[in-house]
Amino acid sequence: MLAFFGKYKLFAIVMGCLSAIIVTAFYFTLQKKTVLPIYQPANVNVELVDTSIQHISKYHTIKDFALVNQNGDTITQNDYKDKIYVADFFFTTCATICPIMTKNMAAIQKEILSDDAIMLLSHSVTPEIDTVAQLKRYAIEKGVNDKKWNLVTGDKKQIYDLARKSYLAVKSQGDNDYGMVHTENFMLIDKERRIRGFYDGTKEEDIKKLLGDIKILKESYK
């Protein structure tokens, strides 16, 4: 019996080592970090993308902007420099999906309130109605924290271009009058100003996924 085991001792050692290597490799494969996609105009619903950039398949980023927030302050890309942020498009007089979107954005605000790396940005698609005073009233009513969340208004063409050419977020009613059909989209933007996710801002399950993706994105910078 001892001779039998002695004969196969080397085989057993080799198989044992091989098994250990396979188990270890399998473990690290399971532990591999999730990487969020980087969205480009060419792989987003064409209805949400301006025709001039629908062909772009790489290097797309959010363009520079200068808009005015609920406090009358000018907000630019520098206010979001080195930040992860969630963006959307809304209007204060909307009675359909906007109240739900704003409620869910407020829920996100609550979760990220103490996290200096995360911010929120909501663009009005009716800037002629959503004056600074109107945005301020809305911000107070909805519990907006000025340090975390900017509601912005400004030149309608600039907002239209941001929506259609940067965030790839709204449908067009025609280029001549910069008409926009805003959608329920929330966009997750990384520190390099790239789109890393689209979410339905009216659905709780999408909000949970968004919060999870924010954590994944944060981890990728460590």
Length of the chain: 222
Q: What is the pLDDT along the chain (222 residues), one digit of tens a residue?
A: 545 445 555 444 544 445 545 544 443 343 457 899 999 999 999 999 999 999 999 999 999 999 999 999 999 999 999 999 999 999 999 999 999 999 999 999 999 999 999 999 999 999 999 999 999 999 999 999 999 999 999 999 999 999 999 999 999 876 556 788 889 999 999 999 999 999 999 999 999 999 999 999 999 999
d(CA 51, CA 177): 16
Please answer whether residues 165 and 172 qualify as being in contact, where contact means their C-beta atoms are separated by less than 8 angstroms: no
Q: Would you tell me how many other CB atoms lie within 10 Å of the CB of residue 160?
A: 23
Is the pTM higher than 0.75? The answer reads yes
Is domain 41-220 classified as CATH 3.40.30.10? yes
Q: Which residues, in sequence order, are bridge partners of residue 179?
A: 174
Whether 85 contacts 121, CB under 8 Å: yes
Cα–Cα distances (Å) from 24 to 14, 61, 212, in that order, read: 15, 39, 27
Using N-to-C axis directions, what is the helix angle for 98-112 and 132-142, rounded to 10°?
70
d(C-alpha 210, C-alpha 192), whole Å: 18
Domain locations in the chain? 1-32, 41-220
Measured in whole angstroms, the distance separating CA 113 from the mean position of its chain's CA atoms is 17
